[in-house]
A = this chain, B = another copy of it.
């Protein structure tokens, strides 16, 4: 009856696959990481089984979302490096960008790294591992450059990059899951520190281990 309704219900939008991914991202923002396919289908305006024309099952959809997340993360990291020239600033800014990505997209971040046992099925979804590797390379690339120019001590690039990855991932993960406030309950009565300040201090300290011995 109503033309708007007709338009919306009209025999679908060429790109249901993408609409499902975007809709899922929105649902995750709002309701947390676990959404139901039926809710997603309703939001997008199709029946639940319609989903199976584009994804083998729920895992396949989640993988597509996570891949999308890794691509966004990689972009954030590269943008952060590009914004400054000083190597120390590049290091800090990249770490800050990493943690901020997690804080800005907590449900997505959790999905990428631990959601629904996806990582355990990584052999079934090599695309997921590959997307993760591409993001990792933004980090290891920066590190290789810093070792080459002598800003950092020589070392095994992948090993050192993995160590840094673990550090920023740990910060993001603990902050997202609310583990920072534990510090405010200590005896000394210290104020809760803002996340970016905490990350700044933590990264500067970590960097020491990678600097050239003077």
Contact = CB atoms under 8 A, between A and B. Distances in A.
A120 B158 contact: no
Query: Would you call the interface of chain A mostly helix, strand, loop, or mixed?
Result: helix
A147 interface: no
Q: Most B CB atoms within 10 A — which of A156, A182, A193? A: A182
Contacts of A156: 190
Interface string A165-194: 111111101101111111101101010010
B160 A166 contact: no
A209 to B, nearest CB: 4
A190 B155 CA distance: 13
A206 interface: yes
Contact residues on A (Cβ < 8 Å of other chain), bracket: 35 or more
Contacts of A9: none
A55 interface: no
Interface stretch (A16-24, A57-65, A74-82, A110-118): A110-118
B34 A173 contact: no
A67 to B, nearest CB: 15
Interface stretch (A44-52, A86-94, A197-205): A197-205
B210 A205 contact: yes
Q: Most B CB atoms within 10 A — which of A114, A170, A176, A208? A: A170
Contact of A167 (B32, B166, B177, B180): B166
Given A119-B178, A159-B198, A173 B32 contact: no
A33 B117 contact: yes
A187 to B, nearest CB: 10
A136 interface: yes
B33 A202 contact: no
Contact of A177 (B113, B162, B181, B190): B113
A12 interface: no
Contacts of A198: 159, 162
Given A159-B201, A209-B205, A120 B169 contact: no
